[in-house]
Amino acid sequence: MGVGGGSREHALAEAIARSGHEPRIFWVSEDRNPGIYRLVKGTGGEYALTRITDPLKVASFAEQWGVDMVVIGPEEPNFHGVVDEVERRGIPCIGARKRLSILEMSKAEMRRIQWRYGISGKLLFKTYRSYMEAIKDLEEHSELLSWLQNVALKPARQAGGKGVKVIEDVQVYLHGEKSRFKQRHMRWLEDYMSGYADIEDKILVEEKVWGPEYTLQCFVDGRTVIGMPLVQDNKHAHEYDIGPETGGMGSYTGKGFLLPFITREEYERSLSIVKSMIDAVQKETGERYHGFVAGQMMLTEIEGPTLIEMYSRLGDPEGVNVLAMLETDIIDIFEAIIDERLSAVKIRFSDVATVVKAVAPKGYPDFRDLARDHPVEVDEALIEKLGCKLYWGSVHLDDSGQVLTKGSRVVEILAFGETTQEASQKIEDCLARGIVRLLDGWGLFHRSDIGSEEMIRKRMEMAERVRRLYTYRERMGILGKRVDWIPRIGKIDPVKELSHELFSRVGGGSYESG
Amino acid sequence: MPGLIGIYPFGLGRENWRLARFVYYGLLALQNRGQELAAIITHEDEGFHSLSGEGFVDEVFTEDALNTMPGFIGIGYVAPSKDQRPIFTETPIRMVLVGDGKPDLENGVQASWKAFGELLADEISRSGDSLKAAKRVIEEVDGGYSFVALTENQELIAGRDIHGVKPLEIGSLGFDLGAVVSESSALDVLGMEHVAHIKPGEVVRFDPYSIERSRAKPRNKPNMSRCSFEYVYLARPDSVIDGISVYSVRERIGMILAKERPAEADVVVGIPETAIPFSLGYSRVSGISVSLGFVTTGRKIRTAIKPSIFERLMGVQLKLNPIRCVIDGKDIVLIDDSVVRGTTLRNTVWNMKRRGARRIHVRIGSPAIMASCPYGIEIPPPDELIARALDEREIAEVVGADSFAFLSIDGLCRAIELGENELCLKCWGCERG
């Protein structure tokens, strides 16, 4: 039984349907995904709509249908203890338990664990429980801690990939405008986060870094962590990497395991960071991690491969790329995860390049009310004829057979190619034929630049610049070190100032301000 | 050759931006493209706000005005002539448009842009889709131009003519701002990432929910003809235009000039600021050492494009004070960027000789200017162009130089690393482009 109703889950259902074990597929999600629905019906399974963050409801369906295993797609069921409840009833589950999924749920807690265990690829950070606290602290300390002038503002909890602002404030002459905007955003963040009662930290401030990003997704069985091919996701909503952060507008792989701008050694280092994080969280909780994990990585000048965020699941759209490439029977992998013998399984991926592009209604990501409730039509025959594959996303197939948008990415289109550019072009040709449209005339958008030669060249140039900087630091023995000098005060090590973040706030309740 | 800028906010809280100051600093960075008029136009839900005046950017806008100017979408404009102003349309839609170059619609530059603005506004109103409308207008209207327009519906539309004569570059800031600018150095000054250039014939539209682009399909396959004058003279050396670094073009020009027109001398000096990279390239290839020959006084005044003769002469004396010890008793290769009337050069050469220079071999980092620019760059009428009247030997005599040579057109193309059929070479009297 699968849980979740987006494109990533559609790709999961498809990978399961490919299995030689000929599984009967059951599914629960909040909206009816037309693609999953068809696969489920094709195997003689059942599909039910339910609140997938409700552990009792999800576990009851699994029990009622007598399934052999449960696979979790999105993150929220993990955060709400769905895995714990399913396993309590004796049904094996591919998914992170509640306490383990803290790696994703709390961006602040993830960072604390990383610093406490001395795992490389870290960023300086501060957390705040209110907007006022943040403003006061940033004003008081930005003279002394210069990194505070250049920060990423994030919700401290994973909040649907929303609300991140990265504002570099190095141009003194624009400081007034930028800091005014930052303050307004923090006020908004506080309001937004007040909707989440499950976390004390509301606002996370991290040092701003730059560099090419990539996602390393892995299978985990509590003993072994196995990395998959690297994928690059593209977070900006619009062409040319402009505009608000989204869940991801498209992703690509190179041919083989690596991206053209990441070296084998950088891959290995990234994998070792993710492994260490899994070890650390297992040690912290005393529980074993079964399922997917992903490191949202960036190559940075200060640390080399750096952990930006973690997923307790596959990425979306990145999961679609790797699942389409996966050659090994996914049921064999799931069984090996459950039995904790993943190290004995040879996991193979096809040696092709892939590109996935998301198509979203105008209004996504920040004005979702505008993006909701538009009827969708797709031409599946033509998509297939043009060598692409369609994965349904944020839509609902209603009882009358009509598909309506739910406000997020409507479909994701995948293509294979000998090169990334070739795959990207296939999707462009496909979308140019109007294979997805909204029947009421509301606009859709996608990013034509994802996977293009221009984009990959830009990423390679950027990676080369960052690599020059971090390898210089490595040679000098100062990789990961931040040193500042303030007149009359002397050398400042901002890492020392982190100690109260690391120790006094563990568990959330023991923090005292000042 | 005005300077254009448009800055656009995306996402949640977009209305919290106040962009007048961003536009102002962007315009400061584009000051090289026009020093006679500057304008900032912003937009918010209530409508447009506009500030403009004659003169330099930092003279036109006061601190107070910038601090109180509302608006979360911003457009900026600097022009080399008081007659070139932003275009406002009231009907059938309200729109503001700023343009660089000249659409081939009327005789005058301003009249052409006015006609272009009206055409675009009509077409948008008629078709209901500003992207399609702008694409159609570009397909219809010949000429060499780029533009940035902002409609009352908060659509920012930027585009280039199908030949790609005039530049337009794209930038991004965080998860928040997108921008289009004439030169990438303005993005650097704003702390923005330079992400791409708009392609010849391409239109890009920013609206609150998307960025869309579309490329005009002209009836005949057009030649690309990027303005070669941009690379030689107009643009800042720290800009990258259509993926080509202006500085590297200028250094290559100096290198090619040294091969094409060698000279025996003790020192190479370039006339600030444009000719400095030429002199570095010339020195490298010739093996003659390069020195700083001049110090300038006052702000940068671009003599070739200053309107009156009086100002031009004032400009020369203020601009160039020779450093005596560098030139006294020396044979000199003197490099300048262009020669229009020869007035500036003659003053400079005589000035240097009076300070003790022995022989002066003048080398020009561009071919001879032979014709006016059909796309609005202010070049004196043909009968005022020295290269049309005199050959190189005669020019040497007039300006008082011991030898005089222009860069060849072929050399210019090689320096830009584009073919003759990819460049506009009309001002050099070359119609093949």
Is the Cα torsion angle A215, A218, A222, A224 positive or negative in sign? negative
Element (H, E) at B164: none
- Nearest chain A residue to B19, by CA: A177
Residues of chain B found within 8 Å of residue A186, distances taken between Cβ atoms: none
**Which residues of A fall within a CB distance of 8 Å from B212?**
239, 445
Enumerate residues 180 to 239 of chain B having a beta carbon within 8 A of any beta carbon in chain A. 189-191, 193, 195-196, 204, 207-213
Chain B residue with the nearest C-alpha to that of A164:
B175
In B, minimum Cα distance to A187 occurs at B13
CB nearest A445 (choices: B21, B174, B210): B210
Supply the pLDDT for residue B306. 54
On chain A, the residues whose CB falls within 8 A of the CB of B195 are 240-242, 458
Terminal Cα-to-Cα distance of chain A (whole angstroms) = 49
Tell if the CB–CB gap between A244 and B22 is shorter than 8 Å. Answer: no
| Cβ neighbours of residue A413 closer than 8 Å, sequence gap 6 or more | A356, A357, A359, A383, A388, A389, A390, A391, A427, A430, A431, A435, A436
Q: From CA A373, how far away is CA B276, in angstroms rounded?
A: 61
Any chain A CB within 8 A of the CB of B58? no
B29 CB neighbours in chain A (<8 A) are: none
Are B16 and A166 within 8 A, CB to CB?
Answer: no
CA distance B67 to chain A (A): 10
Task: Give the pLDDT score at A274.
Answer: 98
A90: left (phi over 0), alpha (psi -120 to 50) or beta: left
| Inter-chain residue contact A240 with B210, CB threshold 8 Å | no
**Using a CB-CB distance cutoff of 8 angstroms, which residues of chain B are in contact with residue A240?**
170, 172, 178, 195-196, 211
pLDDT at A509: 36
Interface test with A, best of B7, B12, B15, B202 (most A CBs within 10 A): B12
* Residues of chain A with C-beta less than 8 angstroms from the C-beta of B181: none
CA distance A490 to A496: 14
pTM for the model: 0.91
Kindly list the structural domains of chain B, giving each domain's residue range(s) and its CATH number in brackets, ordered by start: 3-222 (3.60.20.10), 230-428 (3.40.50.2020)
Q: State the ipTM, two decimals.
A: 0.89
Residue in chain B lying closest to A152 (CA): B174
Q: Is A483 exposed, middle or buried (0-12, 13-18, 19+ CB in 10 A)?
A: exposed
Q: Give the count of Cβ contacts less than 8 A between chain A and B.
A: 109
Across A405-440, b (16+ Cβ under 10 Å) vs e yields: bbbbbbbbbbbbbebbbebbbbbbebbeeebbbbee
Rounded Cα–Cα distance for residues B106 and B113 (Å): 8
* The predicted structure's pLDDT at residue A138: 82
Superfamily in which the A213-454 domain is placed by CATH = ATP-grasp fold, B domain (3.30.470.20)
CA neighbor of B360 nearest in space, from B338, B333, B339? B333
**Contacts B72 to A, Cβ<8 Å:** none
Distance CA A462, CA A456 (A): 10
CATH architecture of A124-208: 2-Layer Sandwich (3.30)
DSSP B194-254: EEEEPPTTEEEEEETTEEEEEE---SSPPPP-EEHHIIIIIS-TT-EETTEEHHHHHHHHH
DSSP reduced 3-state for A422? helix
Q: Between chains, do B209 and A445 touch, taking CB under 8 Å as contact?
A: yes
Determine which of A154, A192, A242 to mutate to test the interface with B (most B C-beta atoms within 10 Å). A242
pLDDT tens, B96-151?
999 999 999 999 999 999 999 999 999 999 999 999 999 999 999 999 999 999 99
Q: According to the model, what pLDDT value does residue A27 have?
A: 98
Nearest residue, CB atoms, B190 vs list A171, A235, A362: A171
Output the pLDDT for position B317: 61
Q: State the nearest Cα–Cα gap between B249 and chain A, in angstroms.
A: 20
Question: Which residue among A165, A177, A448 sits closest to B175, beta carbon to beta carbon?
Answer: A165
Percentage of chain B lying above the pLDDT 90 cut: 83
Can you give the pLDDT at residue A156?
A: 85
Coil vs helix vs strand at B37: strand
Is the CB of residue A409 less than 8 Å from the CB of residue A364?
Answer: yes
Contacts with A180 from chain B: Cβ below 8 Å: 16, 18
**Residue tagged 């400081």 (tokens):** A175
Please tell me if residue B325 touches chain A, with a CB cutoff of 8 Å: no
* The pair of three-digit structure tokens given for residue A341, joined into one six-digit string: 């013998």
Q: What is the CA radius of gyration of chain A?
A: 22
The answer to whether the beta carbons of residues A251 and B181 sit under 8 Å apart is no
The verdict on a CB contact (< 8 Å) between A174 and B25 is yes
Q: How far is A364 from chain B (nearest CA, A)?
A: 7
CB-CB under 8 Å, B210 with A362 = yes
pLDDT of residue A512: 34
CATH, domain A2-95, list 3.40.50.20, 3.40.50.300, 2.60.120.10, 3.40.50.2300: 3.40.50.20
Q: Token pair of A33, please?
A: 């995904």
Domain ranges of chain A: 2-95, 124-208, 213-454
Can you read off the two tokens belonging to residue A480? Answer: 């990961």
Task: Identify which of A174, A244, A370 has the shortest CB distance to residue B191.
Answer: A174
Residue A123 pLDDT: 95
A242/B10 touch (CB, cutoff 8 Å), yes or no: yes
Q: With an 8 Å Cβ cutoff, are B210 and A170 in contact?
A: no
How far is Cα A201 from Cα A21, in angstroms, rounded to an integer?
Answer: 45
pLDDT tens track, chain A, 514 positions:
999 999 999 999 999 999 999 999 999 999 999 999 999 999 999 999 999 999 999 999 999 999 999 999 999 999 999 999 999 999 999 999 999 999 999 999 999 999 999 999 999 999 988 888 888 888 888 777 888 888 888 888 887 667 777 777 777 788 888 888 888 888 888 888 888 877 788 889 999 999 999 999 999 999 999 999 999 999 999 999 999 999 999 999 999 899 999 999 999 999 999 999 999 999 999 999 999 999 999 999 999 999 999 999 999 999 999 999 999 999 999 999 999 999 999 999 999 999 999 999 999 999 999 999 999 999 999 999 999 999 999 999 999 999 999 999 999 999 999 999 999 999 999 999 999 999 999 999 999 999 999 999 999 999 999 999 999 999 999 999 988 888 888 888 888 878 777 775 444 433 333 2
Q: How many other C-beta atoms can be found within 10 angstroms of the C-beta atom of residue A23?
A: 18
What residues in chain B have per-residue pLDDT under 70? Answer: 222, 299-318, 432-433
pLDDT at A506: 44
All residues of chain A having their beta carbon less than 8 Å from the beta carbon of residue B71 are none
Residues of chain A with Cβ-Cβ distance to B208 below 8 Å are 367
Q: Do B12 and A238 touch (CB under 8 A)?
A: no
Shortest distance, CA B22 to any CA of chain A (angstroms): 7
Mean residue pLDDT of chain B comes to: 92
Residue of A165, A171, A367 with shortest CB distance to B191: A171
Inter-chain CB proximity A188 and B13 less than 8 Å: yes
Whole-number pLDDT of residue B200: 95
- A233 three-class SS: strand
A153: chain B residues, CB-CB within 8 Å: none
CA distance A448 to chain B (A): 9
Residue with tokens 């993830």: A110
